[in-house]
Protein backbone atom coordinates (compact mmCIF):
# COMPACT_ATOMS: atom_id res chain seq x y z
CA UNK A 1 0.00 0.00 0.00
CA UNK A 2 2.81 2.40 0.91
CA UNK A 3 4.51 1.76 -2.43
CA UNK A 4 1.26 2.55 -4.26
CA UNK A 5 1.00 5.86 -2.40
CA UNK A 6 4.61 6.66 -3.36
CA UNK A 7 3.75 5.97 -6.97
CA UNK A 8 0.66 8.17 -6.95
CA UNK A 9 2.55 11.01 -5.27
CA UNK A 10 5.33 10.79 -7.84
CA UNK A 11 2.92 10.89 -10.75
CA UNK A 12 1.25 13.94 -9.23
CA UNK A 13 4.60 15.71 -8.84
CA UNK A 14 6.19 15.13 -12.19
CA UNK A 15 3.54 14.41 -14.77
CA UNK A 16 1.88 17.30 -16.57
CA UNK A 17 1.47 18.77 -20.01
CA UNK A 18 3.07 22.17 -20.59
CA UNK A 19 1.49 24.36 -23.27
CA UNK A 20 3.05 27.44 -24.86
CA UNK A 21 1.68 30.96 -24.67
CA UNK A 22 -1.17 30.94 -22.15
CA UNK A 23 -2.75 27.65 -23.21
CA UNK A 24 -3.98 25.22 -20.55
CA UNK A 25 -1.43 23.70 -18.18
CA UNK A 26 -2.36 20.67 -16.06
CA UNK A 27 -2.30 21.37 -12.33
CA UNK A 28 0.64 19.68 -10.64
CA UNK A 29 3.10 20.18 -7.83
CA UNK A 30 6.53 21.68 -8.66
CA UNK A 31 8.73 19.18 -10.45
CA UNK A 32 11.22 17.20 -8.41
CA UNK A 33 14.99 17.67 -8.48
CA UNK A 34 17.05 15.93 -11.15
CA UNK A 35 20.39 14.49 -9.99
CA UNK A 36 23.07 12.19 -11.40
CA UNK A 37 24.48 9.04 -9.77
CA UNK A 38 28.23 9.10 -9.09
CA UNK A 39 28.83 5.33 -9.09
CA UNK A 40 27.07 2.02 -9.61
CA UNK A 41 24.64 1.48 -6.75
CA UNK A 42 21.57 -0.50 -5.78
CA UNK A 43 18.07 0.92 -5.38
CA UNK A 44 16.30 -0.37 -2.26
CA UNK A 45 12.63 -0.59 -1.33
CA UNK A 46 11.11 1.51 1.46
CA UNK A 47 12.37 -0.88 4.16
CA UNK A 48 15.96 -0.28 2.88
CA UNK A 49 16.48 -4.04 3.01
CA UNK A 50 15.59 -5.45 -0.38
CA UNK A 51 17.44 -4.35 -3.53
CA UNK A 52 15.14 -3.62 -6.46
CA UNK A 53 17.54 -2.75 -9.31
CA UNK A 54 21.12 -1.58 -9.86
CA UNK A 55 21.81 1.90 -11.23
CA UNK A 56 24.82 2.55 -13.42
CA UNK A 57 27.12 5.51 -12.85
CA UNK A 58 25.90 8.76 -14.45
CA UNK A 59 22.24 7.68 -14.50
CA UNK A 60 19.86 10.66 -14.23
CA UNK A 61 17.20 10.19 -11.53
CA UNK A 62 14.28 12.18 -10.14
CA UNK A 63 14.86 12.92 -6.45
CA UNK A 64 11.52 12.97 -4.62
CA UNK A 65 12.86 13.66 -1.12
CA UNK A 66 16.01 13.41 1.02
CA UNK A 67 16.35 12.72 4.75
CA UNK A 68 18.79 11.04 7.16
CA UNK A 69 21.37 10.37 4.48
CA UNK A 70 18.95 8.63 2.07
CA UNK A 71 17.30 9.89 -1.10
CA UNK A 72 13.94 8.67 -2.35
CA UNK A 73 14.29 8.53 -6.12
CA UNK A 74 12.44 7.50 -9.25
CA UNK A 75 14.33 5.87 -12.11
CA UNK A 76 12.03 5.13 -15.05
CA UNK A 77 9.15 3.20 -13.37
CA UNK A 78 11.08 2.21 -10.23
CA UNK A 79 10.74 4.17 -6.98
CA UNK A 80 13.14 3.43 -4.13
CA UNK A 81 16.04 4.65 -2.01
CA UNK A 82 19.78 5.12 -2.41
CA UNK A 83 22.35 6.86 -0.16
CA UNK A 84 22.36 10.62 -0.80
CA UNK A 85 26.16 10.59 -1.03
CA UNK A 86 25.88 8.62 -4.30
CA UNK A 87 24.10 11.52 -6.00
CA UNK A 88 25.34 14.84 -7.26
CA UNK A 89 23.56 17.84 -8.71
CA UNK A 90 24.54 18.38 -12.31
CA UNK A 91 23.97 21.57 -14.31
CA UNK A 92 21.67 20.90 -17.26
CA UNK A 93 22.68 21.30 -20.87
CA UNK A 94 20.12 23.46 -22.67
CA UNK A 95 18.90 21.98 -25.95
CA UNK A 96 16.43 23.12 -28.61
CA UNK A 97 13.49 20.94 -29.68
CA UNK A 98 13.52 20.61 -33.48
CA UNK A 99 11.71 17.83 -35.31
CA UNK A 100 9.05 17.27 -37.95
CA UNK A 101 6.42 16.93 -35.22
CA UNK A 102 6.26 17.42 -31.48
CA UNK A 103 8.30 14.63 -29.84
CA UNK A 104 6.75 12.44 -27.14
CA UNK A 105 8.23 12.14 -23.66
CA UNK A 106 8.30 8.53 -22.45
CA UNK A 107 8.66 7.05 -18.96
CA UNK A 108 11.56 4.87 -20.12
CA UNK A 109 14.00 4.81 -23.04
CA UNK A 110 11.58 2.70 -25.04
CA UNK A 111 9.00 3.98 -27.50
CA UNK A 112 6.54 1.34 -26.24
CA UNK A 113 6.60 2.75 -22.70
CA UNK A 114 3.95 5.05 -21.23
CA UNK A 115 3.83 8.66 -22.45
CA UNK A 116 4.12 11.59 -20.02
CA UNK A 117 3.44 14.31 -22.56
CA UNK A 118 4.95 16.03 -25.56
CA UNK A 119 7.46 18.82 -26.17
CA UNK A 120 6.52 21.83 -28.25
CA UNK A 121 8.76 22.65 -31.18
CA UNK A 122 11.41 25.35 -30.69
CA UNK A 123 11.22 25.17 -26.88
CA UNK A 124 14.35 24.79 -24.77
CA UNK A 125 14.65 21.68 -22.60
CA UNK A 126 17.15 20.68 -19.93
CA UNK A 127 19.27 17.68 -20.92
CA UNK A 128 20.72 15.52 -18.11
CA UNK A 129 23.21 12.66 -18.27
CA UNK A 130 24.54 10.95 -21.36
CA UNK A 131 22.50 9.63 -24.25
CA UNK A 132 21.55 5.98 -24.72
CA UNK A 133 21.48 4.48 -28.19
CA UNK A 134 18.37 6.40 -29.20
CA UNK A 135 17.09 8.38 -26.19
CA UNK A 136 18.09 11.22 -23.87
CA UNK A 137 16.69 12.22 -20.49
CA UNK A 138 15.21 15.74 -20.49
CA UNK A 139 13.09 18.02 -18.34
CA UNK A 140 10.68 20.76 -19.39
CA UNK A 141 8.65 22.33 -16.59
CA UNK A 142 6.82 19.52 -14.82
CA UNK A 143 7.64 16.92 -17.48
CA UNK A 144 10.74 14.76 -17.03
CA UNK A 145 11.46 11.67 -19.11
CA UNK A 146 13.03 10.20 -22.22
CA UNK A 147 12.78 11.53 -25.79
CA UNK A 148 14.36 10.51 -29.05
CA UNK A 149 17.75 12.22 -29.20
CA UNK A 150 17.22 13.12 -32.87
CA UNK A 151 14.52 15.59 -31.75
CA UNK A 152 16.89 17.97 -29.95
CA UNK A 153 19.84 20.05 -31.16
CA UNK A 154 22.22 22.60 -29.71
CA UNK A 155 20.70 26.11 -29.84
CA UNK A 156 22.42 29.19 -31.23
CA UNK A 157 22.57 32.02 -28.70
CA UNK A 158 21.93 35.70 -29.39
CA UNK A 159 23.07 38.57 -27.14
CA UNK A 160 20.16 40.62 -25.78
CA UNK A 161 19.51 43.02 -22.91
CA UNK A 162 16.48 43.66 -20.71
CA UNK A 163 14.69 46.86 -21.74
CA UNK A 164 15.23 49.97 -19.67
CA UNK A 165 11.90 49.66 -17.86
CA UNK A 166 10.56 47.42 -15.11
CA UNK A 167 12.29 44.21 -14.06
CA UNK A 168 11.47 41.19 -16.27
CA UNK A 169 9.80 38.12 -14.74
CA UNK A 170 11.45 34.76 -15.52
CA UNK A 171 9.17 31.71 -15.64
CA UNK A 172 9.70 27.97 -15.62
CA UNK A 173 8.00 27.36 -18.97
CA UNK A 174 6.65 29.51 -21.81
CA UNK A 175 3.35 30.37 -20.14
CA UNK A 176 2.19 33.35 -18.09
CA UNK A 177 0.54 30.93 -15.65
CA UNK A 178 3.71 28.94 -14.98
CA UNK A 179 5.91 29.17 -11.89
CA UNK A 180 7.89 32.39 -11.43
CA UNK A 181 11.55 31.52 -10.74
CA UNK A 182 13.08 34.99 -10.53
CA UNK A 183 13.44 38.38 -12.16
CA UNK A 184 15.96 40.02 -14.44
CA UNK A 185 16.81 43.60 -13.64
CA UNK A 186 16.59 46.29 -16.31
CA UNK A 187 19.61 46.55 -18.61
CA UNK A 188 20.77 43.03 -17.63
CA UNK A 189 22.66 41.25 -20.45
CA UNK A 190 21.26 37.83 -21.38
CA UNK A 191 21.76 35.11 -23.99
CA UNK A 192 18.59 34.22 -25.88
CA UNK A 193 18.43 30.59 -27.04
CA UNK A 194 15.00 30.56 -28.67
CA UNK A 195 12.13 32.89 -29.56
CA UNK A 196 8.63 31.56 -30.07
CA UNK A 197 5.10 32.96 -29.89
CA UNK A 198 6.04 35.92 -27.75
CA UNK A 199 8.34 33.98 -25.39
CA UNK A 200 12.12 33.78 -25.29
CA UNK A 201 14.31 31.40 -23.34
CA UNK A 202 17.21 33.33 -21.85
CA UNK A 203 20.15 32.39 -19.68
CA UNK A 204 22.58 34.27 -17.44
CA UNK A 205 25.25 33.18 -14.97
CA UNK A 206 22.63 32.95 -12.22
CA UNK A 207 19.22 32.45 -13.83
CA UNK A 208 17.68 30.67 -16.82
CA UNK A 209 14.09 30.49 -18.00
CA UNK A 210 11.36 31.97 -20.18
CA UNK A 211 10.55 35.69 -20.44
CA UNK A 212 8.25 37.77 -22.62
CA UNK A 213 10.13 38.63 -25.80
CA UNK A 214 8.87 42.21 -25.79
CA UNK A 215 10.90 42.79 -22.64
CA UNK A 216 14.16 42.34 -24.57
CA UNK A 217 16.10 44.36 -27.09
CA UNK A 218 19.12 43.45 -29.16
CA UNK A 219 22.39 44.10 -27.39
CA UNK A 220 24.16 47.14 -28.89
CA UNK A 221 27.30 46.56 -30.92
CA UNK A 222 30.39 46.98 -28.79
CA UNK A 223 32.49 49.90 -29.98
CA UNK A 224 36.11 49.40 -30.82
CA UNK A 225 38.50 49.96 -27.95
CA UNK A 226 40.51 53.18 -27.95
CA UNK A 227 44.08 53.06 -29.19
CA UNK A 228 45.45 53.46 -25.67
CA UNK A 229 42.97 51.78 -23.33
CA UNK A 230 43.41 51.95 -19.57
CA UNK A 231 45.04 48.82 -18.17
CA UNK A 232 42.50 46.35 -16.85
CA UNK A 233 42.37 45.84 -13.11
CA UNK A 234 43.53 42.37 -12.14
CA UNK A 235 43.47 42.86 -8.37
CA UNK A 236 40.08 42.02 -6.92
CA UNK A 237 38.71 41.91 -3.38
CA UNK A 238 35.27 40.93 -2.09
CA UNK A 239 33.84 43.00 0.74
CA UNK A 240 31.23 41.09 2.78
CA UNK A 241 28.89 42.28 5.51
CA UNK A 242 27.08 39.93 7.91
CA UNK A 243 24.08 40.02 10.25
CA UNK A 244 22.06 42.89 8.69
CA UNK A 245 20.17 44.61 7.34
CA UNK A 246 20.38 47.39 9.96
CA UNK A 247 18.06 50.41 9.59
CA UNK A 248 20.85 52.94 10.24
CA UNK A 249 24.30 51.39 9.70
CA UNK A 250 23.46 49.57 6.45
CA UNK A 251 22.27 52.84 4.88
CA UNK A 252 25.56 54.52 5.80
CA UNK A 253 27.55 51.63 4.33
CA UNK A 254 25.58 51.83 1.08
CA UNK A 255 26.45 55.51 0.69
CA UNK A 256 30.17 54.84 1.24
CA UNK A 257 30.16 51.93 -1.24
CA UNK A 258 28.45 54.16 -3.82
CA UNK A 259 31.11 56.85 -3.28
CA UNK A 260 33.86 54.39 -4.26
CA UNK A 261 31.76 52.60 -6.95
CA UNK A 262 32.27 49.42 -4.94
CA UNK A 263 30.13 46.29 -5.02
CA UNK A 264 29.80 44.03 -1.98
CA UNK A 265 27.97 40.95 -0.71
CA UNK A 266 25.54 41.22 2.21
CA UNK A 267 24.85 37.99 4.14
CA UNK A 268 21.50 38.80 5.71
CA UNK A 269 19.69 37.30 8.70
CA UNK A 270 16.05 36.40 8.08
CA UNK A 271 14.60 37.97 11.20
CA UNK A 272 16.31 41.27 10.33
CA UNK A 273 14.97 41.13 6.77
CA UNK A 274 11.50 40.60 8.23
CA UNK A 275 11.92 43.75 10.36
CA UNK A 276 13.57 45.91 7.68
CA UNK A 277 12.56 44.70 4.17
CA UNK A 278 12.98 48.19 2.72
CA UNK A 279 16.68 48.16 3.66
CA UNK A 280 17.22 44.85 1.87
CA UNK A 281 15.52 46.29 -1.21
CA UNK A 282 17.87 49.27 -1.08
CA UNK A 283 20.90 46.97 -0.90
CA UNK A 284 19.68 44.89 -3.84
CA UNK A 285 18.67 47.89 -5.96
CA UNK A 286 22.16 49.34 -5.46
CA UNK A 287 23.54 46.31 -7.31
CA UNK A 288 24.98 44.37 -4.38
CA UNK A 289 24.81 40.59 -3.94
CA UNK A 290 22.49 39.05 -1.34
CA UNK A 291 23.59 36.01 0.68
CA UNK A 292 21.69 33.78 3.13
CA UNK A 293 22.98 33.89 6.75
CA UNK A 294 20.13 31.80 8.31
CA UNK A 295 16.99 33.08 9.99
CA UNK A 296 18.20 33.90 13.50
CA UNK A 297 21.95 33.28 13.44
CA UNK A 298 22.01 29.99 15.32
CA UNK A 299 25.03 27.68 15.20
CA UNK A 300 23.85 25.16 12.61
CA UNK A 301 26.09 22.29 13.71
CA UNK A 302 24.14 22.22 16.99
CA UNK A 303 20.79 21.77 15.22
CA UNK A 304 18.95 18.82 13.68
CA UNK A 305 18.76 18.39 9.91
CA UNK A 306 15.13 19.55 10.00
CA UNK A 307 16.01 22.68 11.99
CA UNK A 308 18.89 23.46 9.61
CA UNK A 309 16.54 23.21 6.65
CA UNK A 310 14.07 25.57 8.33
CA UNK A 311 16.82 28.12 9.08
CA UNK A 312 17.97 28.15 5.44
CA UNK A 313 14.65 27.85 3.62
CA UNK A 314 12.76 30.39 5.75
CA UNK A 315 15.41 33.00 5.01
CA UNK A 316 15.54 32.14 1.31
CA UNK A 317 11.76 32.43 1.02
CA UNK A 318 11.77 35.79 2.80
CA UNK A 319 14.56 37.13 0.58
CA UNK A 320 12.71 36.08 -2.58
CA UNK A 321 9.43 37.62 -1.44
CA UNK A 322 11.28 40.88 -0.72
CA UNK A 323 13.52 41.34 -3.78
CA UNK A 324 12.14 38.81 -6.28
CA UNK A 325 15.00 36.32 -6.26
CA UNK A 326 16.67 33.97 -3.82
CA UNK A 327 20.09 34.37 -2.23
CA UNK A 328 22.97 33.44 -4.54
CA UNK A 329 25.48 32.49 -1.80
CA UNK A 330 25.36 31.17 1.78
CA UNK A 331 27.46 31.77 4.89
CA UNK A 332 27.01 29.70 8.07
CA UNK A 333 26.93 31.65 11.35
CA UNK A 334 30.28 31.50 13.18
CA UNK A 335 31.71 29.75 10.09
CA UNK A 336 30.48 26.47 11.55
CA UNK A 337 29.31 23.84 9.05
CA UNK A 338 29.48 20.15 8.14
CA UNK A 339 28.28 17.86 5.34
CA UNK A 340 24.72 17.78 6.71
CA UNK A 341 24.57 21.52 6.13
CA UNK A 342 26.28 21.69 2.74
CA UNK A 343 24.07 18.87 1.43
CA UNK A 344 21.07 21.17 1.86
CA UNK A 345 22.61 24.04 -0.11
CA UNK A 346 21.90 24.89 -3.73
CA UNK A 347 24.39 27.79 -3.72
CA UNK A 348 28.10 28.11 -2.79
CA UNK A 349 29.02 27.97 0.91
CA UNK A 350 31.29 31.00 1.45
CA UNK A 351 33.52 31.79 4.42
CA UNK A 352 36.27 34.49 4.45
CA UNK A 353 40.04 34.98 4.31
CA UNK A 354 40.26 38.16 6.45
CA UNK A 355 38.35 38.48 9.72
CA UNK A 356 38.52 42.13 10.79
CA UNK A 357 37.07 41.20 14.22
CA UNK A 358 35.00 44.39 13.98
CA UNK A 359 32.30 42.65 16.01
CA UNK A 360 34.74 42.10 18.89
CA UNK A 361 36.89 45.21 19.30
CA UNK A 362 34.43 47.83 17.87
CA UNK A 363 37.42 50.00 16.98
CA UNK A 364 37.58 51.58 13.48
CA UNK A 365 41.39 51.83 13.60
CA UNK A 366 41.76 48.10 14.29
CA UNK A 367 39.39 47.28 11.44
CA UNK A 368 41.45 49.38 9.03
CA UNK A 369 44.70 47.86 10.32
CA UNK A 370 43.45 44.29 9.81
CA UNK A 371 42.70 45.06 6.18
CA UNK A 372 46.00 46.83 5.58
CA UNK A 373 48.02 43.94 7.02
CA UNK A 374 46.28 41.05 5.26
CA UNK A 375 44.67 42.28 2.02
CA UNK A 376 45.78 40.58 -1.18
CA UNK A 377 44.32 39.68 -4.55
CA UNK A 378 41.35 37.36 -4.06
CA UNK A 379 40.73 38.24 -0.41
CA UNK A 380 37.24 37.94 1.09
CA UNK A 381 36.91 40.46 3.92
CA UNK A 382 34.49 39.81 6.78
CA UNK A 383 32.74 42.80 8.37
CA UNK A 384 29.32 43.45 9.93
CA UNK A 385 26.82 46.10 8.85
CA UNK A 386 25.24 46.27 12.32
CA UNK A 387 28.05 48.17 14.09
CA UNK A 388 28.50 51.92 13.77
CA UNK A 389 32.26 51.49 14.19
CA UNK A 390 32.35 49.38 11.01
CA UNK A 391 30.69 52.16 9.01
CA UNK A 392 33.17 54.60 10.57
CA UNK A 393 36.09 52.49 9.32
CA UNK A 394 34.80 51.73 5.82
CA UNK A 395 35.75 54.98 4.09
CA UNK A 396 39.43 54.58 5.02
CA UNK A 397 39.35 50.84 4.19
CA UNK A 398 38.10 51.53 0.67
CA UNK A 399 40.38 54.51 0.10
CA UNK A 400 43.42 52.44 1.14
CA UNK A 401 42.55 49.48 -1.07
CA UNK A 402 41.62 51.69 -4.02
CA UNK A 403 45.03 53.39 -3.89
CA UNK A 404 46.59 49.92 -4.05
CA UNK A 405 44.69 49.23 -7.29
CA UNK A 406 42.00 46.88 -6.02
CA UNK A 407 38.61 46.46 -7.66
CA UNK A 408 35.69 45.76 -5.30
CA UNK A 409 33.50 42.89 -6.53
CA UNK A 410 30.84 40.54 -5.19
CA UNK A 411 31.73 37.10 -3.87
CA UNK A 412 30.21 35.38 -6.91
CA UNK A 413 32.22 37.62 -9.26
CA UNK A 414 35.40 36.86 -7.32
CA UNK A 415 34.75 33.10 -7.43
CA UNK A 416 33.73 33.21 -11.08
CA UNK A 417 30.26 31.83 -10.37
pLDDT per residue as tens digits for the range 75-86: 999 999 999 999
Average pLDDT of the residues in 2-19: 37
H/E run at residue 390: helix 388-403
Are the C-beta atoms of 193 and 157 separated by less than 8 Å?
A: yes
Task: Give the separation between CA 62 and CA 401, rounded to whole angstroms.
Answer: 48
Task: Give the separation between CA 250 and CA 270, rounded to whole angstroms.
Answer: 15
Q: Residue 391 — pLDDT band, cuts 50, 70, 90?
A: very high
pLDDT at 107: 92
Task: Give the separation between CA 78 and CA 6, rounded to whole angstroms.
Answer: 10
**pLDDT tens-digit profile of 294-317?**
999 999 999 999 999 999 999 999
* DSSP single-letter state for residue 349: B
H/E run at residue 104: strand 104-106
- Helix, strand or coil, per DSSP, at residue 211: strand
Peptide bond into 245 cis (omega under 30): yes
Sign of CA dihedral 387, 388, 393, 398: positive
316 is an active site residue: no
363 is an active site residue: no
Catalytic entry in 242, 243, 385, 392: 242
Q: What is the CA radius of gyration of the chain?
A: 24
Tell how strand 265-268 and strand 236-242 pair up.
parallel
Cite the DSSP H helix spans in 232-363.
249-259, 270-275, 277-285, 305-323, 339-342, 358-361
pLDDT at 196: 86
- Helix, strand or coil, per DSSP, at residue 283: helix
Catalytic entry in 106, 384, 385, 387: 384
**pLDDT of 21 strictly over 60:** no
Q: What average pLDDT does the structure give for the chain? A: 87
**pLDDT tens-digit profile of 172-205?**
999 999 889 899 988 889 999 999 889 999 999 8
Amino acid sequence: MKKILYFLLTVFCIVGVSVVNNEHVHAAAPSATIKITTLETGVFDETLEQKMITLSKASPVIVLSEADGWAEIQYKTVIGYIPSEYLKSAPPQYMLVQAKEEPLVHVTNNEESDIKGKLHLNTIVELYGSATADFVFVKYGRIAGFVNKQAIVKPVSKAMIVKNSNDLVVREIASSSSTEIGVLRKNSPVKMLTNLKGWAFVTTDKLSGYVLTNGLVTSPVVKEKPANPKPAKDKKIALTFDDGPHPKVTKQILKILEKFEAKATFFVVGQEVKEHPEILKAVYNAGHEIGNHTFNHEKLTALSAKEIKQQIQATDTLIKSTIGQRATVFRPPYGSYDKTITDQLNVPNVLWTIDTLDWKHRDPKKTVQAVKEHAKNGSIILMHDIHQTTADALDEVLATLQKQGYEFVTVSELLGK
